A and B are shown apart, each in its own frame.
Chain A
Amino acid sequence: MPVHLTINDKPVQAHEGQTVLEAACAHGIVIPTLCYHKDLSPVGSCRLCIVEVDKLRGQVAACNLPVAEGLVVHTETPALVQSRRTVLSLLLQNYTDAGYTSHDGHTTEFEHWVRYYEARLPDGTSPAPRYPLDGDPNPFIWVDLNKCILCTRCVRACEEVQGRFVWGVGERGSYTRIIAGADTAMLEARCESCGACAAYCPTGALDHKLSIRQGEADRKVTTTCTYCGVGCQFDLNVKNGKVIRVTSNPNAPVNGMHLCVKGRYGYDFIHHPDRLTGPRVRRYLLEEGEKVLHGPAWDWVETDWNTALDITARKLAATRDHYGGSSIGVLTSAKCLNEENYLMNKLARQVLGTHNIDHCARL
């Protein structure tokens, strides 16, 4: 059943069961949020998404307000702006930014709204840090509780996306803060390092440790994960020709924002110094000597592509012409592209004349 309402003088059609926040989002009307995320269950605790409704007194949280026929909603009145500034200023009282570049190198959602509503502490200062930077030994998740605003998105992301229950909220001393397990290290609280909590954190209190201080990417390229067969997609963030981080792409068909530890954090092999960077052949091939599997004849020699490709082609052709195509075996790769696998199949069958082609599907 369609429901008709008015938001900021604009007629909006929604459907039953939606909240005002969802209806506004669907029509491109931005209502500021912090604790809300469309993938997570709503908690309505941050009070940034407050709106005013005609014939209703006070300010109500849009994430909790069901749409109703004839509702007239205002999202950006002077009173609302003032309230939001107050909400954000209160959060700033417990927020310390140590100044390192984090979180994509972009402003975080929190920083964005702080600037937008010009919130600041009365004296313009920021409170002294209360927690260590990098407060958890997990190799992937950066924990800086000085930036935590207790929105509990991480708690919900871990539960509702990953199906783990690592984070909770608890009192420690005079402060309330997020706590892993029974106040242990994350890994001990059965964290699987999927990074969902960091991906959903709106302040950078939880962040991707491998990418801290790496700065902003020049570009992002959406691609498909190289590890398992689930087929998750994500954005490779590239800076100066280097992959500096992986960020979730909410439009990924299979996985949305979610990834696992390998997909999100297993990318540094790309630039590993062990990478082969040029063709190599055994010395005996250049000297056209006999093959022996040891000694100087078996040493690697770096060579150019032409030489390496010519020798390869000559040897394979000679084997085929002498002993028949069935004397050659081709192993193609379950890590390579469809197009590359097709070519390996064509090379084996068309060029070498053999069906001896396989890959590690069986293993």
Chain B
Amino acid sequence: MVGLTTSFGSGAMSNSMDDVAEKAAAFFVIGSNTTEQHPVFGSRLRQAVLRRGAKLVVADPRRIDLADFAKPAYGGLYLRHRPGTDIVLLIGLMHIILHNGWEDKNFIAGRTEGYEEFAATIEHYPPEKASEITGVPLEQLYQAAEILALNKPMAVIWAMGITQHIVGVRNVMSLANLQMLLGNMGMEGGGVNPLRGQNNVQGACDMGGLPNVYPGYQNVTSEETRLKFEAAWGVSLPDKVGLTLTEMIPACEDGRVRALYILGEDPVMSDPNTSHIRHCLERCEFLVLQEIFPSETSAYADILLPGVSFAEKTGTFTSTERRIQMCRKAIEPLGETRPDWQITTEIAKRIIALGERDMRPAPHSGWDYNDTSDIMSEISAVTPSYAGVSHARLEAGERLQWPVKGPDHPGTPVLHVGQFTRGKGKFAPIDHIPPAELPDDEFPVLLSTGRVLYHWHGGQMTRRAKGLMGVYGRALVEVNPEDAARWNAKDGTHLRVTSRRGSIEVEAWVTDRVPPGMVFANFHFPETSANILTHASLDPVAKIPEYKIVAVRVEAV
């Protein structure tokens, strides 16, 4: 969440799901199909609309389920903007807010910087122009701006629909701008609320599973930080940012990267442009894969190390709202499998024993852990935002959301109260850039990708749950009735969807969830994975691929 770090100094969800669901007077849900991707939170949003009259504005090119709750009868509104026009939509709304004097002048003056420069760029997209580019009728822009500005606090909620674009970081910064403009930061019921996908994405980021930061978002390029970790671990450490996932695998092609150690990920299924990924993995000299199931990626692995599922180990996960919770072992590891932390420990000890790297004794140089609570003690020693986290506190029933600054600190349900993590909130002037690959004569249809309620990511787990397969057992592509008529397709017709990179055959689901000219597919099933079609155009800063917009051609087979 690079965008939020730039604006506020912290990339995480600012608020808690509970305060958002209970206290927000209005919600702005953009690029999040909440009821399918974060279902329990999605239901709470529905309840807030039905039970306490919270106003819901949904902006999404697809008529997602929540759109049914964003209607004038409930005081809300559904905006169907064209894919890839989020920034224009947001600037258009902010234009209306400013011209009506609805901005929070005290908040802007007291807590932000860069406002003047930002306000000037807003003038580039007057509502008429925004309406023309986004396809949202002018009066809907006015109505939406009014709902969002006049109901306070208002919470902004988004997910991958905002970030999986070449302009993902700009999208996020635009949402930060909106919340500063309206003074909705640092209070219950407001805030910027990116919903993280997998159950421990937040924790993987917090723990330094990123090429630019140590645990707790401490920069690898900061000398002070580097010295701190050199002292803790007893080695000298590089001072340059490493490669991201979307750079690392392609780097196998020219030998810049020669070995990969992959824990529980399936890049062949989850990364864009599947055939190029396969080619790169073939070139990798040595690939260790630690997994619970053979996957598409295991075809390229030299070694497979069997880890365990969440039911077979104890430790912590950190949810999207920065809440650290226990995962507890319920059954013994199956067969010869071992908890992943034990496997990693064994590998580390063996490499260290081979002795070619200079290592000196230091407080945390060793790898002798009896259990994961020992590891958590080390984490809290080197990670300021986890300084007060321990298994003992969690087992005693304490509810902790980071930052937890010390053993007596109660945690932080709402970020940025009174002051932003970086001091002043930073308004960033943002301009619109069109998507990298737009439909043309040869590939006239726009494909967007994502997940469905009944499945999960590459489907490794959910495709092995028989009930889930019973409800949703094969890939479907959502097609608008108008297009379906043109392609002679009904529900169940086999369609061939072709992009510049590949082709898949899937069954049609005719529905007005998608607008004419757009189709939607998922990546849960290997042979029909939408990632065979996607491309690797990356956001230049966050390096997130543009999964949401791909040009394709569709025909019945």
- Which A residues have a C-beta under 8 Å from some C-beta of B? 139-140, 160-163, 187, 192-194, 209-210, 219, 221-233, 236, 238, 241-243, 253-255, 258-263, 265-272, 274-282, 285, 291, 293, 300, 305, 308-317, 319-321, 323, 325-363
Task: Report the nearest A residue to B391, measured CB to CB.
Answer: A339
> What are the 5 A-B residue pairs with the smallest beta carbon separation, nearest first?
A231-B319, A277-B335, A355-B242, A163-B46, A337-B315
Is B456 engaged at the interface, CB distance under 8 Å to the other chain? yes
Please, could you name 27 A-B residue pairs with CB atoms under 8 Å apart, sorted by A?
A192-B453, A229-B197, A230-B38, A231-B321, A231-B323, A232-B40, A253-B323, A275-B335, A275-B337, A276-B292, A282-B302, A291-B302, A312-B288, A312-B305, A316-B347, A327-B257, A329-B248, A331-B265, A338-B207, A338-B317, A339-B379, A347-B348, A349-B233, A350-B348, A352-B351, A357-B209, A363-B545
- Place the interface of chain B in its size category: 35 or more
A266 touches B351 (CB 8 A): no
Q: Which of B277-319 contact A (CB under 8 A)?
A: 282, 285-286, 288, 291-294, 300, 302-307, 309-313, 315-319
A357 touches B210 (CB 8 A): yes
Residues in A neighbouring B212, C-beta threshold 8 A: 355
Residues in A neighbouring B202, C-beta threshold 8 A: 229
B354 touches A353 (CB 8 A): no
Residues in A neighbouring B256, C-beta threshold 8 A: 326-327
A231 touches B325 (CB 8 A): yes
B211 touches A358 (CB 8 A): yes
Is B486 engaged at the interface, CB distance under 8 Å to the other chain? no
A-facing mask of B216-242, CB < 8 A → 1, else 0? 000010000000010001110110111
A193 touches B471 (CB 8 A): yes
A226 touches B461 (CB 8 A): yes
B198 touches A334 (CB 8 A): yes
Residues in B neighbouring A339, C-beta threshold 8 A: 315-316, 341, 372, 375-376, 379
Is B245 engaged at the interface, CB distance under 8 Å to the other chain? yes
Tell me the complex Cα distance, A266–B346, Å: 31
B242 touches A269 (CB 8 A): no
Residues in A neighbouring B436, C-beta threshold 8 A: none
Is B435 engaged at the interface, CB distance under 8 Å to the other chain? no
Tell me the complex Cα distance, A163–B271, Å: 34
Tell me the complex Cα distance, A349–B226, Å: 11
Residues in B neighbouring A280, C-beta threshold 8 A: 303-304
Task: Report the nearest A residue to B267, measured CB to CB.
Answer: A331
Cβ distance A174 to chain B, nearest Cβ, rounded Å: 34
A342 touches B328 (CB 8 A): no
B465 touches A238 (CB 8 A): no
Residues in A neighbouring B208, C-beta threshold 8 A: 341-342, 345, 349, 357
Known: A261-B453, A339-B341. A344 touches B544 (CB 8 A): no
Tell me the complex Cα distance, A363–B345, Å: 27
Question: Which of A163, A219, A362 has the most chain B CB atoms closer than 10 A to its own CB?
Answer: A362
B326 touches A140 (CB 8 A): no
Is B129 engaged at the interface, CB distance under 8 Å to the other chain? no
Is B454 engaged at the interface, CB distance under 8 Å to the other chain? yes
The answer, among A285, A356, A359, for a CB contact under 8 Å with B204, is A359
Residues in A neighbouring B286, C-beta threshold 8 A: 315-316, 319
Cβ distance B221 to chain A, nearest Cβ, rounded Å: 10
A163 touches B316 (CB 8 A): no
Is B441 engaged at the interface, CB distance under 8 Å to the other chain? no
Task: Report the nearest A residue to B389, measured CB to CB.
Answer: A338
Known: A291-B302, A333-B204. A227 touches B199 (CB 8 A): yes
Is B557 engaged at the interface, CB distance under 8 Å to the other chain? no
Task: Report the nearest A residue to B248, measured CB to CB.
Answer: A329
Residues in A neighbouring B359, C-beta threshold 8 A: 350
Tell me the complex Cα distance, A231–B292, Å: 21
Residues in B neighbouring A224, C-beta threshold 8 A: 199, 310, 317, 319, 325-327
Is B554 engaged at the interface, CB distance under 8 Å to the other chain? no
A231 touches B348 (CB 8 A): no
Tell me the complex Cα distance, A242–B311, Å: 10
Cβ distance A161 to chain B, nearest Cβ, rounded Å: 7
Cβ distance A110 to chain B, nearest Cβ, rounded Å: 26
Cβ distance B226 to chain A, nearest Cβ, rounded Å: 10
B259 touches A327 (CB 8 A): yes
Tell me the complex Cα distance, A355–B461, Å: 30
Is B419 engaged at the interface, CB distance under 8 Å to the other chain? no
Q: Which of B360-395 contact A (CB under 8 A)?
A: 365, 372, 375-376, 378-379
Task: Report the nearest A residue to B232, measured CB to CB.
Answer: A350
Residues in A neighbouring B211, C-beta threshold 8 A: 355-358
Tell me the complex Cα distance, A348–B262, Å: 11
Is B205 engaged at the interface, CB distance under 8 Å to the other chain? yes
Residues in B neighbouring A274, C-beta threshold 8 A: 293-294, 464
The answer, among B320, B340, B462, B543, for a CB contact under 8 Å with A231, is B320
Is B195 engaged at the interface, CB distance under 8 Å to the other chain? yes
B337 touches A276 (CB 8 A): yes
Tell me the complex Cα distance, A335–B199, Å: 6
Is B99 engaged at the interface, CB distance under 8 Å to the other chain? no
Is B433 engaged at the interface, CB distance under 8 Å to the other chain? no
B303 touches A254 (CB 8 A): no
A-facing mask of B248-259, CB < 8 A → 1, else 0? 110110011111
Tell me the complex Cα distance, A172–B41, Å: 36
B235 touches A358 (CB 8 A): no
A353 touches B348 (CB 8 A): no
A-facing mask of B448-475, CB < 8 A → 1, else 0? 0000011011001110111110110000
The answer, among B338, B464, B470, for a CB contact under 8 Å with A272, is B464
